[in-house]
Structure 1
């Protein structure tokens, strides 16, 4: 399809009142990405060279979001909600530019697959003027039916207008259309609003094109491709379908998921082969995992890079900016943020590392924290190669611990430690024989009084 130019028009102007949300419907997320962004990504993967995003009047949040996930998109405003054909015509300027193919898509169908879009474009390349994406439904109640004869699509009939025979049709309308660019503007302009709602329906171009002797066909995709989201229940259904797809893809690529249904990925998760993921692990956006890593149960990651052969968790939290090099370890109840753990270094348990670098082969004892924030600014801690930090130590940034240095357990380190030095940062222990018994007696008497 690379030889054919393509414009994708994504309709994202609906308010989505059934979502019961202040957030525009198309910005609700599936796998950490707004629904409309999933549609944009599918269009791009299908070879859409240009993108037109139609938003509602005053939809500033959609406009701002579009700048992030579709910076090259041209934004058009549907001033009044007068139907899907009217919404598509908001992008009249781009339609008139003369693309070979025009795809009209909906911003609330996050599971649309690029392959289905390519199949529709292929029908255009074969000479069709209009291609409708359809799906088979065991229970078609509520969906518009695709009326075909001799391989041609004659009409899209809403269920309320169907005859008894037509109601038995299980081939249903997804809403998505591909239109030959040479006919797109004329067909859309020919749509009228002589209906109960006084709206301009995109589906009308099927009969309009057929009446002009143009070729109109349907192509079939899975139901998932057509799943439109109107409420939170359907949003959860879409999330479940997306996760199932992604888990299967991960396992087929060589990743072991011990309890697949308990592992959640984001839209951009990258995970290498021979990695083992135990139950109840959540991958937020921006996470990469190298080959052969072991991810233990109940861990949560976001914006983190986990190198090959790393051992993470259980109950580990890696926050944005965490980078663990090959064979590094972050054990149970360890939190790492904006810090690099070099090759083979170990942060075994009960530890917070933030705004820091831990050198290769270093060992960080239990209960250690980098004190990186003074209430106003963040400061950096640098721990050298092969250093040993004893348990329950507080490293008050900015501070550096030299290569091979040793920090005694329970220390509060406020000054930098040279290479191979031993540092103590604690008060000397003092033991007073018999004083505990005396103290208890005094307190018991005070309580009784």
Structure 2
């Protein structure tokens, strides 16, 4: 991709070929989710925010699932296979064809380091713009044990990345550590990477060697400081949980900074793609899964679970409500305690207050659905839809057997099993007629008591 005078072009190579054996999972490591999004997805999302045009993803052999995830999220990405695992520089060169396309900047990222921010990515590119041939993301570690150290000379220039096992005692005292993420001058990237050798104990090609290669050639090297929390690498379930904690803290803070009230933030769990408006109130112990939009002024009461749903302006949900995929709540509607909504539109001002299941349905504005009502939408083979008109009233403990249409303003008597359409403004009562037998209960109780008394006397 050619350069322009006003804007530098950039290619990001994401290394996603690691086996992840420590995860002890049939699922590839980079497809494990944090805040409802795969680790690979987090890196791709940050790249989009950092306005990186070109994306290449390096996967292991036979990893069509990782390739599919990359292309689902970035259809323009190019996918390359690292047939042999011979180190990070070797993995980067698997994308040689993309590297040769002529980008100004090259970002090298890791799919199992999912929390690197767009700001850090942009800072690495800024270092290249300022003349560095190599820019390394570093961080000040509270406990540097196990990390590669970033070695600087007296002038403050980066001279090397030293692994823990190779560091001297004085070098181990350094707290400035390597995050692994790196940026290279696109014009020199191939020559630097091709100069990396494998004369080490593992016989692998290490990406970090480009620092010393650049130094030997008199090229500029820079360290860009990031936060320790953003450079966490995820190799096992414990680190996955830690990454989830960090991601959730970010999402909660972003929601509150955007004007939402989280009454007990530490108890609320958000998906990375949640869209939450201003003056929204979210009470304790709420789970907001993928694909959720909550409009201004809505209230989500405690212990509710929501996924792939939309909550309209000023609507109330819960407590103990579940909104499943396709739930769409109109403005000022109400979904109350122990109510489940699935693939259903609830009109503006409509009320589904308690102990109810509404699935595959359209509920008109200002309709009222009584307690214990269910839409019987599935016959074991196919699903059918229920239509409930504006202002309709469905009495408690009613069953609406789809497909069925309840007209606007219609009234369904409590305890009804409705199998036929109800006209607008009509009353439908579909239940057995009540009969009464005088004295029956007295006689029954007397007879049963005598039987019990005779049995006990034996």
Query: For this structure pair, what is the TM-score category when the shorter chain's length is used for normalisation?
Result: over 0.9
Number of positions where the alignment pairs a residue of Structure 1 with one of Structure 2: 449
* Match in the other structure for 1:363: 368
CA distance in 2, matches of 1:414, 1:362: 19
Match of 2:51 in 1: 47
Q: Distance in 2 between matches of 1:148 and 1:435?
A: 97
Distance 1:395 1:116 in 2: 55
Aligned structure 1 segments of 4 or more residues deviating by more than 6 angstroms:
none
Task: Tell me the C-alpha RMSD between the 2 structures.
Answer: 1.5
Provide, for residues 191-235 of structure 1, a one-character-per-residue CA deviation record: whole Å limited to 9, x for no partner. Answer: 111100010000001001110111111110001221100111110
Q: 1:311 aligns to what?
A: 316
TM-score, structure 1 normalization? 0.98
2:80 corresponding residue in structure 1? 76
What secondary structure sits across from 1:185 in the alignment?
helix
Q: Deviations over 1:27-80 (max 9, x none)?
A: 000000000110111112112111000000011221222232222211100001
TM-score, with structure 2 as normaliser: 0.96
Q: 1:311 to 1:172 in 2, by over 3 A?
A: same
Quote the residue 2:411 is aligned against. 406
Does the alignment pair 1:127 with 2:131? Answer: yes
Q: Which of 1, 9, 13 is the equivalent residue of 1:9?
A: 13
Which one of the candidate residues 297, 300, 303 is aligned to 1:295?
300
CA deviation after TM superposition for structure 1 residue 304, in Å: 0.3
Distance in 1, Cα, partners of 2:288 & 2:449: 52
Cα distance between partner residues in 2 of 1:444 and 1:80: 87
Does residue 267 in structure 1 map to residue 272 in structure 2?
yes
Structure 2 gap segments, 5+ residues each: none
Deviation string, structure 1 residues 286-319 (Cα, Å, up to 9, x no partner): 0000111111000000000000100110000000
Find the aligned partners of 1:412 and 1:146 in 2 and give their Cα distance.
73
Q: In 2, Cα distance between the equivalents of 1:26 and 1:261?
A: 26
Does residue 436 of the first structure (1) align with residue 445 of the second (2)? no
204-213 or 425-434: bigger deviation = 425-434
* Correspondence 1:48-447 to 2 at 5 A: 48-149=52-153, 150-439=155-444, 441=447, 445=451
Alignment partners' CA distance in 2, 1:5 and 1:425: 69
SS of equivalent residue, structure 2 residue 189: helix
Contact 1:112 1:226 in 2 (8 A): yes
- 2:323 and 2:38 map into 1 onto residues whose CA distance is 23
1:431 Cα offset (Å): 1.9
Task: Write the distance in 2 (CA, Å) between the matches of 1:299 and 1:39.
Answer: 29
- Bigger drift between 41-50 and 414-423 goes to 41-50
Secondary structure in 1 matching 2:15: strand
Counterpart of 2:342 in 1: which secondary structure?
strand
Shift of 1:442: 5.2
Contact 1:145/1:173, CA 8 A, preserved across alignment: yes
